[in-house]
Amino acid sequence: MIEFTPNPRTQLSQLWRLRGKLTLRQFTRERGRIVGAAIVIFFIGPLILAAAYGSGIGYRRLDDQWPTALLGAVLTLLWFTWLIFPIMFAAINEGADITRLMIYPIPRRTIIASIILGTLFDYPTYLMLPLFAAIIYGFGLSFSPVTLVVIAALVLGYGHLIMIGQLAGTTIGGIMQSRRVRDVAIIFFSLIGGLCYFINIGIQRLMEAVSHQISADDVTALQSWQPLDILQWLPPGALAQAVAQAQAGAWLSSLLWLGYSLLWLMLITWVWYKLLVRLTTGEGYLLTPRPREETRRQAKREERRERNLLGWLPPAIAQLTANEFKSVWRVPQRRVGIIQGVLMPIFFLVVFFLGEDADVGSAPRWMALTLPVYAIFLFWANTQNMLAWEGPGLPALLLTPVPRRHIFRAKGLALFVITAVPLLLFGGLLIYNNPGVMSVAGLLTALGMGVATMGVTAVASVYFPIPIRLEGRRKRGLFQSGGDTKTGCAYITIVPLAVLLVSAPAAAPLLLAYWLDVPWLAAPGLFFSAAYAFAVFWIGTRQAGELLLAREPEVVERMKLPEE
């Protein structure tokens, strides 16, 4: 970029060569991307070729309105793929980082043209070429004005795919930068993820109801159905309608539908560019920043609330606990885990507890033994790697004169309150369905085992820290351990085994009561379980504090994220 010229044509050529160099560098620096591309082409390529072959035959052999209806369905499906894929997985067309080009005097049209031309270096782009070739085979092999309409439709369709993918990727970047919109998105997608089971049941029942009501008259009506009456209002569907009107000889109507799709493309491009400028210049995403006075008043209200709720704790532990609660709520990755952890027992057990055959007392007695197992998994998953969630603020925390054991005890207190919520929901459902001493004892024992688990994970957080990328617009590379094989193996072998062995004695009274079939024996055993769990937590956090004091430089160095 040192010899960047002000000539727009030369700029476009330079940007295109820059895009090619960046693509080549991605594959040479990250050899795993070559393997990933090969796997995608090997598995997805045959499916694309089969779809292209089938659609090409359909364009040629289907009767009446169905060839253009099939064209509209294919273009719309591609459009939705390019729209949804960056939101749920990763960008299909990555392109260069446009925000770094904003400092150069590059016209807007040149940037947009470089984005479209740069997609020729993205291998997923070539996966749609067989489908486009099938369209040309089905509609545009003859030298006629219809061929020109088909070519124009494919050019506009290609532009729609590229720009809707860019808009989706930029929007995700804005969501990751805007806390308010990001919070809503996180909660929404967490709920969608938890509701997948119920959505599946609803779709199955809807299909069954529709299949029972379909008659011969409905089949006849289906044959005369015009799918383009619905698809034509979407940008890709308008292109299929333009081809249909051209085949019917309605050239003016065909041009109007092409113009309608072109207006959509211009609107999407304009929204994408404006959003990109707002994100680059720091003007925000969609909402304006909160006024400073309102922010101060909000901070004072939060401070008073903290004093009222945590005033019974020592000042240092109270402050650290309050900070941990704030971190859990403000870091998106942690909040997703909390929401899913709360909803998981509900979605997993609602069919069992609230099914048609379920009744009070129908749950087997051994279900009380599942609570400690669930508690071990839940607390191990939510409390491991405690120090990493401090992110870049960990060195500042370690500069404070607070005793290191207080750090782990404060984190343990906050994480216990948060993690106990789904456990209490699970236990409450079990007690409601099968009331008795064993169910209550199982829930209380599970809480105690969770406390003991945090004593082990506190020590493991010092021995095996893993850096976590808390912020960033990229979804890839969220958790990065710098290739530390020892740490990865420890988290899937040593730490779970240590948690299980250390926490197991707390469940001994419950297991003994179940084995001897003496439920009342579990009640006095709760005192032993509580004392044992508290002792493990107290000793574990003290040991973790001493280890952290001796290993602070090493821990800080291990927490540094690798360069991208």
Range of the domain at 15: 8-191+224-281
pLDDT digits (tens, 9 = 90+) for 314-364: 888 888 888 888 887 777 667 666 666 566 655 555 555 544 454 545 566
When pLDDT is cut at 50, 70 and 90, the band that residue 156 belongs to is very high
Identify the weakest region by mean pLDDT among 85-94, 400-409, 490-499, 514-523.
85-94
pLDDT value, residue 322: 85
| DSSP 8-state class, residue 93 | S
Burial class for 564, CB neighbours closer than 10 Å (0-12, 13-18, 19+): exposed
In a domain, 178, yes or no: yes
Q: Judging by beta carbons within 10 Å of its beta carbon (0-12, 13-18, 19+), is residue 95 exposed, middle or buried?
A: buried
Examine the domain organization and report whether 404 and 258 are in the same domain: no
How far, in Å, are 208, 363, 374, 508 from residue 446 at the CA level? 42, 18, 8, 12
> Is the residue at 501 inside a domain?
yes
Among residues 255, 281, 307, the one where a domain terminates is: 281
In this structure, of 8-22, 239-253, 480-494, 532-546, the range with the lowest mean pLDDT score is: 480-494
Residues 26, 155 within the same domain: yes
pLDDT at 555 over 50: yes
Q: Which residues contact 486 (CB under 8 A, 6 or more apart)?
A: 464
322 occurs within a structural domain: no
Out of 21-30, 104-113, 396-405, 514-523, the most confident range is 396-405
| pLDDT digit string, tens, across residues 250-303 | 899 999 999 999 999 999 988 888 877 776 665 544 444 455 566 566 666 766
Same domain, 412 and 548: yes
Q: Is residue 428 part of a domain?
A: yes
- Position 94 scores a pLDDT of 55
Q: Which residue has the higher pLDDT, 438 or 176?
A: 438
**500 plus 371 within the same structural domain:** yes
Q: Are residues 381 and 261 in the same domain?
A: no
Q: Which of the residue ranges 144-148, 341-345, 348-352, 490-494 would you say has the lowest mean pLDDT?
A: 348-352
368 and 274 within one domain: no
Q: Can you read off the two tokens belonging to residue 345?
A: 């027992």
Same domain, yes or no, for 261 and 391?
no
Per-residue exposure over 278-314, b if at least 16 CB sit within 10 Å of its own CB, e if not: ebeeeeebeeeeeeeeeeeeeeeeeeeebeeebeebe
Q: Is 176 inside any structural domain? A: yes
Rounded CA-CA distance 548/463 in Å is: 9
Q: What is the domain count for the chain?
A: 2
Q: What is the pLDDT of residues 370-396, one digit of tens each?
A: 888 888 888 888 888 888 888 778 888
The last residue of a domain, from among 250, 266, 281: 281
Asked if the structure places residue 499 within a domain, the reply is yes
**Last-in-domain residue among 281, 308, 323:** 281
Percent of the chain with pLDDT over 90: 13
Kindly indicate the confidence band of residue 152, based on its pLDDT and cuts at 50, 70 and 90: very high
Predicted model pTM: 0.54
197 vs 119: which has the higher pLDDT: 119
What's the pLDDT score for residue 298? Answer: 64
Residues 6+ apart with CB under 8 A from 154: 132, 135, 136
| Residues 29 and 141 occupy one common structural domain | yes
Residues 127 and 23 in one domain: yes
Separation in Å, CA 279 to CA 282, 332, 404, 471, 474: 5, 19, 39, 15, 15
pLDDT at 141 over 90: no
Whether residue 276 is found in the same domain as residue 370: no
Same domain, 254 and 385: no
Tell whether 296 is covered by a domain. no
Query: Could you tell me if 262 and 373 lie in one domain?
Result: no
pLDDT band at 68, cuts 50/70/90? confident
CA distances from 348 to 29, 221, 418, 442 (A): 43, 41, 19, 19
Residue 215 lies in a domain: no
